[in-house]
Chain A
């Protein structure tokens, strides 16, 4: 089962999958995303399931990239990491500081280590 071990750092076994869900509130949804070299087509508030087949074996390091663009520069994104049963194990809230302009992004790099 996927486990949170640090800030934006998770461990899982070779047989584990997990889910990622990004929800936009008060801003238009635009989140280019990828895991390693694979582009992910995220949809607002819909869980994207990452399967074990998309990951490598024990000892491998993986990188999940989430680029949350704010257009207009209002509201927030909620990033949720879920285990295979749909339980949320981590929540990240992305909100632009005041004074930022439309088109600014908040970038989140989630590191996954297969143990």
Chain B
């Protein structure tokens, strides 16, 4: 089997294994649920012992997802093995990995591995903590991304033979990371926090204070010191009627806490997403790219990238739980040949080609597992007699989980050029946005 195919298979297995290691069969209850907190635990124990018909509702967890669709996690368009004809203006916060088998451009292998990272990720990898203060202080390091694509099947020809392209991208305006904003200052969050503190206040007034008074100091101290085994603590304890009433109130207050928690967890992500949606109608980036081309000449690319969110600014709350609205991209690109002669001696222009790209991106659908893109790219080479080549693509992104995505695309090029294949091509790959994994690792 060819070397690049082994590389592709190994990378896919690595990403799949990492994802499977992180992906449980079903959401797991958090380690600090409502019912296991000290006061709630004592109250539940006593209620279960002396109020046998009582059933405490467990706090439900989970809602919502953070799901940006503006981040570029795959190989830049035009790179060997790329599965996309249009680029996104956004960048990962920390790191992304993509393994792709694209067939839009002409390469001997058609497979590639792309790593995309930011200087901020390197700072946190080498000791800087990913705190809010450092996040703010290093905003510049988070606006730059570096991407490298490795695709060459033949690594015997010269230094760094496997390196196919490298890109530097700068987000000039319109960052869409939730961490750039203070949640407590967002509209509607004060009300959510009030629900939580009201439930806690209710618990203290109707459970904690009267239960402490009913148990007395000595028994209270023993209960909380011996929290892991309350049976011997209360072996000889018999509550009076007033205490039984307090225990019923405790059950009620715990249920109210759980309800408040569910309400906030359901609405908080909506508020955050609505806020972000309204903040960033337009995202604008610039990128510089270097691409290897053993046939004609290596070349440089300069790109202007825009991402437009038409829903921003209408102040409407998202109807669905954190489903990003549809968006559009409009990009322009110019390529410059590195050499003036091709490998076969043909004279080359300094300017290699111009390109214009447009794309329409859907919001997530099918329980937020899918999103789609329709794109078109028009390229015109500089050489005399060259005609404009148009490529159209329909792509479906299958989100396996919060980290891993499988892009599947069908592209069609009207005519062939030196670097673009004519006709229909199927493009597949695997991309992983590793921000969550790295952020969790850095927090420990």
Question: Contact flags (1/0) for B189-223 with A, using CB distance below 8 Å?
Answer: 10011001100110111001101100001001100
Q: A34, B201: Cβ atoms under 8 Å?
A: yes
Question: Contact flags (1/0) for B40-63 with A, using CB distance below 8 Å?
Answer: 100000000000000000010111
CA distance A115 to B217 in the complex (A): 8
Please name the residue on chain A nearest to B257 by beta carbon: A107
Q: Which residues of B contact A100 (CB under 8 A)?
A: 27-28, 30, 61-62
Q: B265, A105: Cβ atoms under 8 Å?
A: yes
Q: B37, A76: Cβ atoms under 8 Å?
A: no
Report A62 CB to chain B, min CB distance, Å. Answer: 8
Interface 9-residue window, one of A18-26, A47-55, A81-89: A18-26
Q: Which residues of A contact B132 (CB under 8 A)?
A: 24, 28-29, 44-45
How many chain B residues have a CB neighbour from A under 8 Å?
A: 74
Q: Which residues from 1 to 59 on chain A have a C-beta closer than 8 Å to any C-beta of chain B? A: 5-9, 11, 23-30, 32-34, 36-37, 39, 44-45, 59
Please name the residue on chain A nearest to B37 by beta carbon: A109
Question: Contact flags (1/0) for A90-104 with B, using CB distance below 8 Å?
Answer: 000111111111111
Report B141 CB to chain A, min CB distance, Å. Answer: 15
Q: A95, B440: Cβ atoms under 8 Å?
A: yes
Interface centre among B62, B63, B443, B444, by most A CB within 10 Å?
B443
Q: A104, B37: Cβ atoms under 8 Å?
A: no
How many chain A residues have a CB neighbour from B under 8 Å?
A: 56
Interface on B for A, CB 8 Å cutoff? 22-24, 26-34, 37-40, 59, 61-66, 129-133, 178-179, 181-184, 189, 192-193, 196-197, 200-201, 203-205, 208-209, 211-212, 217, 220-221, 224-228, 257, 261, 264-269, 272, 322, 402, 435-436, 439-440, 442-444
Q: Give me 9 A-to-B residue pairs in the complex whose CB atoms sit less than 8 angstroms apart, sorted by A's number.
A: A76-B440, A99-B27, A99-B28, A101-B269, A103-B267, A105-B265, A107-B32, A107-B33, A113-B220
